[in-house]
Chain A
Amino acid sequence: MKFIYKTWWKVLAVVIIFYTLIAGFLLGVPRLEILHETIRNTYFHVPMWIAMFTVFTVSVIYSIKYLQTGKEEHDLIAVEAANTGIFFFVLGLITGMLWAKYTWGEFWSNDPKQNSAAIAFLLYCAYLVLRNSIDEEQKRAKISAIYNIFAFPIMIVLIMVLPRMTDSLHPGNGGNPAFGKLDMDNRMRMVLYPAFIAWSLMAVWIATIRYRIRLIEHKKNAIN
């Protein structure tokens, strides 16, 4: 737990994000038909999803830990990580939709990847609604932890597996090559992979701040 109070990785996250912002807009990218400059969206769209996966994974890990130990702090981490994950989920959807407008022609074109993402979004909204429906704190923590663990593999199936099996316009799905195979060159990788790390750290940072606020509130409300 000491890790979240350290400063170095937060500085690192900010530095790398600034690097990806500058390099992402200035460095050269492959010239491709249809995509043109929109290929730079890869630097922003994909890291949002990676960041989301990171915090959702953190959330599931702490849900499992909660079931094992019953510490309320673990439940607080799980819920704040899930909240942050939902925020990055929305960012991922928006960046994807903007890109889709310029390449596919519509913000929402009934693409399997978009639909799956929307369903997975409902899954996590249901998690929040479930939390609100239970008043008793320990019961709420336990049941929502169980639903969180239940939802996580389904989310993976929805976003990572199902769209790959059908015809999708999204790169990397439905027989379309992923950017990584054909379109991307090493210049892009120099920006993209650091961006994954930086945005993941950023998401974790946001989650930890929210968690620390929650922890203070929790301690204030506790009976001593």
Chain B
Amino acid sequence: MKLAGQTIELLKKEIILEWRSKYAFNGILLYIVSTVFVCYISFNLNPGFKQSAGYPIVWNILFWIIMLFASVNAIAKSFLQESKARLLYYYTIAHPQAIILSKTIYNTLLMSLLSVLALVVYLLFFPNKVDDILYYFMVVLLGSMSFSTVFTMISAIASKAGNNGTLMAILSFPVVIPVILILVKVSKAAMDGIDRSLSLNNIGTLLAINVIVIASSLILFPFLWRD
């Protein structure tokens, strides 16, 4: 119970800190909106793009690519913003697993909110017929959760190794590629209105990857944490 209590306290602290500055939220929201806008302008340079046959495919993949880069940037900060002194303070009062758990949950919440907003903005600029919109939203939430679990652990590793963005990308992309492949597949199925039960298999794999990643971060973070 001590772990759960600590996790909740740390989670509260994360949310309060974010609420005061709103830096990460606004920054990433702006990042997403400007990326979507850049895509909008560039794609519309080619007349007839929206009527072309490949439009739904490009629509789906483009959304996930935007989400991928947005979440890398959002979550890379999660260990970067902690000063050395503050980490030392955590070291004295909290359990390492509580720290990684609270960060993961916080990132999941942040990314869920951001990705739903991103989907709304994206639909505004790139209108598209999504047959099973509820299921699509669910997949988006699941996707943001998967990104958060993977990137939180990787950002912890990258922050120990000198905090550079390149490292974050090369360490996390091989891990996240299977996730994104499944997400693209499932969300395309949701777009086409294919019966939900047919994608359960893929969703199960996605959840299994999440469980593996969370379990290994819980086991490994206590070793990573101390300098």
Contact flag A143-B212 (CB < 8 Å), given A150-B153, A162-B178: no
Report if A120 contacts B (CB, 8 A): yes
Interface presence of B177 (CB below 8 A) = yes
Query: Is residue B161 contacting chain A, with contact meaning CB distance below 8 A?
Result: yes
Interface centre among B177, B212, B216 (most CB of A within 10 A): B177
A126→B170 contact, CB < 8 A? yes
Set of chain A residues within 8 Å of B201, measured between Cβ atoms? 165
Tell me, in angstroms, the Cα distance from A134 to B167 when the chains sit together.
Answer: 11
Q: Using A133-B161, A146-B224, A157-B212 as known contacts, say yes or no to A162 and B205 having CB atoms under 8 A apart.
A: yes
User: Which chain A residues lie closer than 8 Å to B205 at the CB level?
Assistant: 161-162, 165
Q: Does B63 contact A (CB under 8 A)?
A: no
Tell me the bound Cα distance from A145 to B160 in angstroms: 13
| Contacts known (A119-B178, A130-B157, A157-B178); A142 close to B223, Cβ less than 8 A | yes
Residues of B within 8 A of A116 (CB): 178
Residues of B contacting A67 in the complex (Cβ-Cβ under 8 angstroms): 223
Q: Which of B161, B208, B217 has the largest count of A CB atoms less than 10 A from its CB?
A: B161
User: Do A143 and B216 touch across chains, with their CB atoms under 8 A apart?
Assistant: no
Contact B174 A146 (CB under 8 A): no
How many A residues face the partner with a CB closer than 8 A?
28
Q: With contacts A119-B177, A161-B205, A165-B201 known, is A143 near B167, CB below 8 A?
A: no
Per-position binary interface string of chain B over residues 153-181, scored 1 when its CB falls under 8 Å from any chain A CB and 0 otherwise: 10001001110100100110111011001
Judge if A197 is at the interface, Cβ distance under 8 Å. no
> In the complex, are the beta carbons of B220 and A129 less than 8 A apart?
no
Interface residues of B, dominant DSSP: helix
Instruction: Determine whether A107 belongs to the interface, using a CB cutoff of 8 Å to chain B.
Output: no
Q: Tell me which residues across on chain B come within 8 A of A157, comparing CB atoms.
A: 178, 208-209, 212
When the two chains form their complex, are residues A143 and B177 in contact, meaning their CB atoms are under 8 A apart?
no
Is residue A58 contacting chain B, with contact meaning CB distance below 8 A? no
User: B160 contacts which of A120, A143, A158, A162 (Cβ < 8 Å)?
Assistant: A143
Residues in B whose Cβ lies below 8 Å from that of A165: 201-202, 205
Given the interface contacts A143-B224, A147-B157, A149-B220, does A133 sit within 8 Å of B162 by beta carbon?
Answer: yes
Q: Is B195 an interface residue (CB 8 A)?
A: no
Identify the closest chain A residue to B202 (Cβ): A165
The residue on B at minimum CB distance from A68 is B223
Q: Knowing A120-B174, A158-B178 touch, does A146 contact B167 (C-beta < 8 A)?
A: no
Please give, as numbers and ranges, the residues of chain B lying within 8 Å of A126 by CB-CB distance.
Answer: 170-171, 174
Docked-complex contact B175 and A146, CB < 8 angstroms: no
- A150 — nearest CB in chain B belongs to which residue? B216
Instruction: Check A139 against B220 for contact (C-beta < 8 Å).
Output: no
Q: State the Cβ distance, B218 to closest chain A Cβ, in Å.
A: 12
A67 to B213, CA, bound (A): 19
CB closest chain-B residue, reference A140: B161
Say yes or no: A154 contacts B174, CB within 8 Å: yes
With contact pairs A122-B173, A154-B175 given, residues A129 and B167 touching in the complex (Cβ less than 8 Å): yes
A134 touches B162 (CB 8 A): yes
Interface residues of B (CB under 8 A from A): 153, 157, 160-162, 164, 167, 170-171, 173-175, 177-178, 181, 201-202, 205, 208-209, 212-213, 216-217, 219-220, 223-224, 227
The 15 listed contacts between A and B (C-beta, < 8 Å) are A119-B178, A130-B161, A133-B162, A133-B164, A142-B224, A146-B157, A147-B171, A149-B220, A150-B157, A150-B216, A151-B174, A153-B212, A154-B209, A157-B209, A162-B178
13 more CB-based (< 8 A) A-B contacts, given A120-B174, A134-B161, A154-B178? A122-B170, A123-B174, A125-B170, A130-B161, A134-B162, A142-B223, A143-B157, A146-B157, A147-B157, A149-B216, A150-B220, A154-B209, A154-B213
